[in-house]
């Protein structure tokens, strides 16, 4: 914690709220301390010479230019990656160890943590049983439970995670494609870092 914020006597809730409210009421987007300030009308009308901080978008564009100019030591260009975006699905290196660790269970099998049906493979890294391949009864194009279980945006939709999503295990049903899509948006929102931080309270 910043040493300037240290208080000999901690402020109570009401004092903290009043101090913070006064600070935010006196704050102006012209100070350009937080992301998004440059979009306010009061900031866009401000002459460039009087602007206290550099526009956030200008910082981002300059950072992007610097990143492009840096040599990565590979002959692969950014344009080549963009041209193959239909093929490439992001960095899957972390998944390698899980794929390599998959082993068969005993002849009696175990219950899959994703769909709740009997399966005959286990991810040793996770220590959980799940379908590595689709069964003959599944329709063509069905995604194996193994990939659902390791997919961050699917977390909370498997049968094992039913209680996390507020559903009773006995009422759980495999989610529809529409629900999977909407759930993915919610998870991505949770993973985004907070763009705006509250200013410190001055004594």
Is the model's pTM score more than 0.85? no
Query: pLDDT band at 200, cuts 50/70/90?
Result: low
CA separation, residue 83 to residues 14, 61, 65, 71, 147 (Å): 56, 22, 20, 20, 25
Report the pLDDT value the prediction gives residue 195, as an integer from 0 to 100.
Answer: 45
Phi, psi of 103, rounded to the nearest 5 degrees: -135, 155
Q: Is 110 helix (H, G, I), strand (E, B) or coil?
A: strand
Query: pLDDT band at 113, cuts 50/70/90?
Result: very high
**In this structure, what DSSP letter does residue 109 have?**
-
CA separation, residue 55 to residues 48, 65, 77 (Å): 10, 16, 29
How confident is the model over 158-198, as pLDDT tens digits?
998 888 878 888 889 999 999 999 999 988 888 876 544 44
């Amino acid at each position: 914690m910043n040493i300037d914020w240290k208080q000999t006597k901690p402020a109570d809730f009401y004092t903290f709220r009043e101090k913070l409210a006064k600070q935010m009421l006196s704050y102006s987007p012209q100070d350009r301390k937080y992301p998004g300030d440059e979009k306010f009308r009061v900031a866009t009308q401000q002459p460039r010479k009087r602007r206290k901080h550099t526009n956030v978008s200008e910082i981002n564009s300059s950072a992007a230019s610097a990143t492009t100019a840096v040599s990565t030591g590979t002959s692969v260009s950014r344009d080549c990656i963009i041209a193959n975006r239909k093929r490439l699905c992001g960095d899957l290196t972390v998944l390698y160890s899980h794929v390599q660790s998959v082993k068969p269970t005993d002849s009696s099998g175990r219950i899959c943590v994703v769909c709740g049906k009997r399966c005959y493979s286990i991810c040793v890294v996770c220590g959980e049983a799940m379908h590595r391949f689709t069964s003959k009864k599944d329709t063509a194009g069905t995604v194996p439970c193994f990939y659902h279980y390791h997919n961050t945006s699917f977390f909370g939709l498997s049968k094992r995670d039913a209680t996390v999503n507020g559903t009773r295990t006995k009422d759980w049903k495999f989610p529809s494609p529409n629900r999977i899509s909407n759930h993915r948006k919610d998870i991505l929102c949770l993973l985004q870092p907070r763009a705006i931080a509250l200013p410190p309270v001055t004594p």
